[in-house]
Amino acid sequence: MARAILLTSIALFAGLLRPMSGAAAVSQAAEAPGDLSEREAAVHVLNRLGYGPRSGDVERVMEMGILTFIDAQLSPASIQESPELERWLAEYQTLTMPTTQLFLEYPPPQRLQAMARRRGEELDSAEYRMAARKSFAPLMELSQARLARAVHSERQLQEVMVDFWFNHFNVFARKGPVRLFLAEYEREVIRPNALGNFRELLGAVAQSPAMLFYLDNWMSAAPDGANVAGQTPRRRRGQAKGLNENYARELLELHTLGVDGGYTQEDVVEVARAFTGWTIDLRTGEFIFRADLHDADSKVVLGQEIAGGGSMSDGEQVLDLLARHPSTARFISQKLARRFVSDDPPEALIERAAATFTATDGDIEAVVRTIVTSPEFFSREAYRSKVKTPLEWVASGVRGLDVPARDTRPLVGALNRLDQPLYGAQPPTGYADIAEAWVSSGALLMRAELGQRLARASARGPTGRELVREGLVDGALVLLLPAVDTERLRPLLTSEVNEQTQPRMKVETAVSLTLASPEFQRK
Which residues would be at the binding site for another protein (CB under 8 A)?
Answer: 113, 125, 128, 172, 174-175, 259, 387, 416-419, 426-429, 435-436, 439-445, 448-449, 452, 488-489, 492, 496, 509, 512-513, 516-519, 521-522
Nearer to another protein by C-beta: 170 or 193?
Answer: 170
- Give the nearest distance from C-beta 512 to another protein in angstroms: 5
In contact, 284 and 103? CB cutoff 8 Å: yes
Q: Which is nearer to another protein, 26 or 411 (CB)?
A: 411
Torsion of CA 341, 344, 347, 350, to 10 degrees: 50
Other CB atoms within a 10 A radius of the CB of residue 166 amount to 24
Residue 273 to residues 170, 314, 512: CA-CA distances in angstroms? 22, 9, 55
Smallest distance from another protein to CB 132, Å: 11
* Residue nearer to another protein on the CB measure, 266 or 449: 449
Between 13 and 136, name the residue whose CB sits nearer to another protein.
136
Which contacts qualify for 7-12: CB closer than 8 Å, 24 or more apart? 7/35, 9/65, 9/66, 9/67, 10/66, 10/67, 10/373, 10/375, 10/378, 11/375
Partners of 288 in the beta sheet? 279
Three-state secondary-structure class, residue 324: helix
What's phi and psi for 244, nearest 5 deg? -115, 120
Strand, helix or coil for residue 306 = strand
The minimum distance between CB 433 and another protein, in angstroms, equals 14
Q: CB within 8 A of 44, min separation 6: which ones?
A: 36, 377, 378, 382, 383, 384
Q: Which is nearer to another protein, 398 or 455 (CB)?
A: 455
Q: Shortest gap between Cβ of 450 and another protein (angstroms)?
A: 10
Compute the least distance from the CB of residue 218 to another protein, in Å: 14
Rounded least distance, CB 441 to another protein, Å: 4
Choose between 310 and 428: whose C-beta lies nearer to another protein.
428
Q: Which is nearer to another protein, 61 or 516 (CB)?
A: 516
Kindly state the smallest distance separating residue 25's Cβ from another protein, in Å. 34
